[in-house]
Copies of this chain bind each other. A is one copy, B any other.
């Protein structure tokens, strides 16, 4: 085989060096042709686009060509020429083909045809080789890059809060327990010897890095987490994962208005990044998955977000209901927790643009949120999005040691558990706030995919921890 440096297909298609000899390596997406000439669509994962390889049958061993089937892996050397055919601008006239790995058509499950998302979930280790999952994973990567860039450019520090924790954060959800005890030997006498466990006490997987993130923000000024979080909830829905990734920025010296500006600027930056860097993949998804995708993305970056106090939002919902709009969960008035359908009504039907909802009733929100002077509402700043509902949950935090300890006590929580957290208010307390973004919710929004299990490589859900 001629020794020529491999070119990635994305690079080759971006700046085609016509009439030079090139080497590409990748997987066969399809092969068609006749007894004189074969056309191989080759893909190497660098792009949704394939490169067409033209094979003059008489120049190659028939046995080799027979083994070139969908899924096989090849290295191809040949001349890059302008294409005669429709559908591609360039193609490679193969002079040399090396077969790295076959894919027996009787066994390889990804023959060229549409597969259901359900079937592909069962072969999650191979679905990455499909057009849809290639596109989703490249966009997922780009969203992670956009997030790190945004925060780095704005002076936030990436801060790794613990995954295994003895704290239960805010009681935000059911937790997984982490242990090195032998389960076949614990509890025989109804008692668990946690002094013999690895950490000497009961530990869990984190449900949120926020409380530890506040420790970072009140020292470094502005931090963000970006790591896995866990919920042991028995929810079999298209919106829930037991293991998902969260981004939680936390900022010292921020007030409610600045926090809303940050949320809006941040999420627009991410969506704009996708539009600037992932257009091939987005166009594919716009065609195959959701034909409103590109319109929705463009609209989100263009429109100012509505800033809507909860009290006004509930009024709008009550009026809509009075006028005959049917909600699955009826609007019961001030104090109610909004369901996704309520959020989406405000965003998709009433305002037709994203909404930052503020000043929720304190009772339906977490203990650490800063109360307004009215004593009933708190400075929350949740961002509601089309198709998704709540995509960001944010708030200004209560910085008064006294008010915070009173709130903890009033909720019947253990003061002792939060001693280290309260130290941020005891020593050099400062106004601060932050928000949480579920990474997979962002990916759902940006890809148009319908099920959260299809925007993470290996989803963890009840009874499912394959691969």
Which residues of A are in contact with B by a Cβ distance under 8 Å?
A: 6, 8, 10, 25-28, 44-46, 71-73, 75, 100-104, 107-108, 125-126, 128-129, 133-134, 137-138, 140-141, 144-145, 148, 152, 155, 157-167, 174, 176-188, 190-192, 198-201, 203, 205, 212, 215-216, 218-222, 227-228, 230, 232, 234, 242-243, 245, 252-253, 399, 420-421, 423-431, 456-458, 460, 462-467
Contacts and interface: CB of A to CB of B under 8 A. Distances in A.
Given A45-B219, A45-B220, A75-B253, 13 more contacts: A6-B253, A8-B221, A25-B252, A44-B252, A71-B427, A71-B428, A101-B429, A125-B424, A140-B158, A140-B160, A184-B187, A215-B457, A215-B467
B230 A164 contact: yes
A76 to B, nearest CB: 12
B185 A187 contact: yes
**Copies, count:** 2
A4 B205 CA distance: 43
B138 A144 contact: no
B188 A177 contact: no
A164 B467 contact: no
A319 to B, nearest CB: 38
A192 B188 CA distance: 11
Contacts of A245: 160
Contacts of A158: 140-141, 144-145
Contact of A179 (B161, B183, B199): B183
Most chain B beta-carbon contacts within 10 A, residue among A103, A104, A218: A218
Given A158-B140, A160-B457, A103 B178 contact: no
Contacts of A107: 426-427
A157 B277 CA distance: 13
Contacts of A466: 166, 420
Contact of A186 (B129, B184, B191, B420): B184
A128 B219 contact: yes
A128 B214 CA distance: 11
Contact of A190 (B8, B184, B200): B184
Contacts of A161: 457-458
A404 to B, nearest CB: 12
A73 B428 contact: yes
Nearest to A221: B45
Contacts of A157: 45, 137-138, 140-141
Contact of A46 (B138, B155, B228, B460): B155
A134 B219 contact: yes
A415 to B, nearest CB: 16
A95 B173 CA distance: 48
A183 B178 contact: no
A253 to B, nearest CB: 5
Contact of A178 (B71, B72, B177, B252): B177
A72 B428 contact: yes
Contacts of A102: 428
A106 B187 CA distance: 45
A379 B444 CA distance: 40
Contacts of A27: 219, 428
